[in-house]
Structure 1
Amino acid sequence: MTRSSDNLRDLVSMTVDRTGHVAEVTLLGPGKGNAMGPDFWRELPLVFGALDDDPEVRAIVLTGGGAHFSYGLDLPAMMPSWAEYLGGEALAGPRTKFLDEVRRLQDAVGSVAATRKPVVAAVAGWCIGGGVDLISAADIRLASADAKFSVREVKVAIVADLGSLQRLGAIIGEGHLRELAFTGKDIDAARAERIGLVNDVYPDAETVLAAARDLAAEIAANPPLVVQGVKDVLSVNTEQQVAAGLRYVSAWNSAFLPSRDLQEAVQAFMERRDPVFRGE
């Protein structure tokens, strides 16, 4: 493998390599379990924008470094910068800034969906919250047998606002999406395959990554402009609905996300205990 682009050498939260016409993006964290902190949100759109512009890249593999794909949003790393937005006395100014912040994160995930190059996600271990948002923006998802998935935002008093609620309905159906989003439950790779979240399940992390590379290479062997045209035509079916849904949830969360339940969820997380929600 070789580095895909000179301007992607100084990344902190991910690496980018290229073999032939296939680029490989590997999440690194630096939070535990490749948790998504400030570096991730800054670098993700830069990486996928660069790969979209690179004529040598025809397909992309997206995977996680280490044992897990991603634990999702790195709350301890992100919350300090959000404190002014989420205080109980936050008025229109701070809430408008929070609206801008949510839409910035949405755009970062959206850069994966917006790239003209097909994206194949290879998932091993945990894929939680923001991790599910990320793979829902990919075109194809594969998993190892040990993979586990969770749309877990409800467990921390948050309405998922980065794409899962907008994109997963077309992938797994409304019934399955509502069950996962209302409960925040974990599902294993077998259930994920059964409901269509992933196309196939492989024995371990090594074999799922190899399968993703092979699939991306198979895609890359086809006429690149035609493949990009197929993705563009397929995306027309959902992109306007997704965009409208993202705008709505960002406005909803900027108004209603600040709550005592959210404060309790963060406090309980830091204290490693079960939260007690009171609907306040």
Structure 2
Amino acid sequence: MTAMTATAKLPDLVSLKVEVTGHIAEVTLLGPSKGNAMGPDFWRELPIVFGALDADPEVRAVVLTGSGKHFSYGLDLPAMMPSWAPILGGESLAGPRTEFLGHLRELQESVNSVARCRKPVIASISGWCIGGGVDVIAAADVRVASADAKFSVREVKVAIVADLGSLQRLAPIIGDGHLRELALTGKDIDAARAEKIGLVNDVYPDQEAALEAARQLAADIAANPPLVVQGVKDVLSVNTERQVAEGLRYVGAWNSAFLPSKDLAEAVQAFMERRAPEYKGE
């Protein structure tokens, strides 16, 4: 491993591990919650890491993967609940809603840091990739998976409108109809279906094969002129940047207005009690 410039100056990390070999950086989700669930440390550290990778002139491509069997279980709901307390406390006036909107925009910016990184990002997914995990891989440039990978835009099942980028970024990737199916049902899909609809480029027999394929793709990209590669990414992104930004702004305002509900409280309670929720549209 060769430490390089801005990447070498990264602070001690809790939720992510960064290794640089040659011109390729490998970022691994560590948790520390079960299934690499995304808690406050993850959301704080993700933009720090991708900002450093963007600024490092020696890094030309990035591989993003998860530790253990899974990419990510998504949002660490128990760990994040304190941040939601102001808006869920019963007096959801302008102050608490504005505070929540600011918090939500910080989370959106964390995911945006992956998309804005000028170095192409290849996500290698194994096991579960749920909710926030899908938000993050949607911000990557290319996705590959192992045969055991499963994906779910699951927010609807916990009374939340997905608000960190899946609804904005996935339509150009998988098509509007497939996105609506996944977002409205919250259903799980396997790697074969993900490949069929274009969510992932290729599926490999196991986790190591998928990771090796991602590394090879990163090496192929890194072998090209770096400024031209960055230019290609910039030109491709201009078609969707404004639409994504407007969509994130809108969903942030929508959730700040309408997220508090009895159904959300029921979703949280059911999650903590490990039972099926009973929604009443209240």
Tell me the TM-score normalized by structure 1: 0.99
Give CA-to-partner distance per residue, 1:27-85, whole Å, 9 cap, x none: 00111100000000000000000000000000000000000000000000000232112
1:226, 1:266 → 2: CA distance? 47
Q: How many angstroms does 1:130 deviate by?
A: 0.1
Aligned-partner SS, 1:8: coil
Structure 2 Cα separation of the partners of residues 55 and 247 of structure 1: 31
Task: Give runs of aligned pairs for residues 199-278 of structure 1, distance below 5 A.
Answer: 199-278=201-280
**Runs of 5+ unmatched residues, structure 2:** none
Deviation at 1:9, TM superposition (A): 4.6
1:32 to 2:20 alignment: no
Match of 2:133 in 1: 131
Deviations 1:230-279 (A, max 9, x none): 00000001000000000000000000001110000000000000000000
Look up the match of 1:114.
116
CA distance in 2, matches of 1:182, 1:49: 33
In the TM superposition, what is the alpha-carbon distance from 1:164 to its structure 2 partner?
0.2
1:36 and 1:75 map into 2 onto residues whose CA distance is: 8
Q: Which residue of 2 aligns with 1:43?
A: 45
**Equivalent residue for 2:156?**
154
Instruction: Look up the match of 1:164.
Output: 166
Q: How many residues align?
A: 280
* Contact 1:15 1:26 (C-alpha < 8 Å) held by counterparts: yes
Structure 1 residue aligned with 2:65: 63
Say whether 1:17 aligns with 2:14: no
Distance across 2 between alignment mates of 1:3 and 1:179: 43
Counterpart residue identity of residue 88, structure 1: G
Rounded to whole Å, the distance in 1 between the matches of 2:271 and 2:48 is 31
Kindly state the Cα deviation for residue 8 of structure 1 after the two structures are TM-superposed.
2.1
SS of 2:170's equivalent in the other structure is helix
Q: Is the 8 A contact 2:168 2:248 kept in 1?
A: yes
State how far apart, in whole Å, the 1-side matches of 2:15 and 2:267 are: 26
CA RMSD for the aligned pairs?
0.8
1:117-147 residue CA offsets vs partner (Å, 9 max, x unmatched): 0000000000000000000000000000000
- The amino acid that maps onto 1:279 is G
The residue identity in structure 1 corresponding to 2:168 is Q
**1:254 & 1:81 partners in 2: Cα distance?**
13
| TM-score normalised over the length of structure 2 | 0.98
Shift of residue 87, structure 1, vs aligned partner: 2.3
Shift of 1:90: 1.4
The aligned amino acid for 2:235 is V
What is the distance in 1 between the residues matched to 2:132 and 2:278? 23
User: Does structure 1 conserve the Cα–Cα contact (< 8 Å) formed by 2:16 and 2:42?
Assistant: yes
Distance 1:238 1:103 in 2: 19
Instruction: Please tell me the residue identity of whatever aligns with 2:280.
Output: R
Alpha-carbon distance, 1:88 to partner: 2.7
1:7 corresponding residue in structure 2: 9
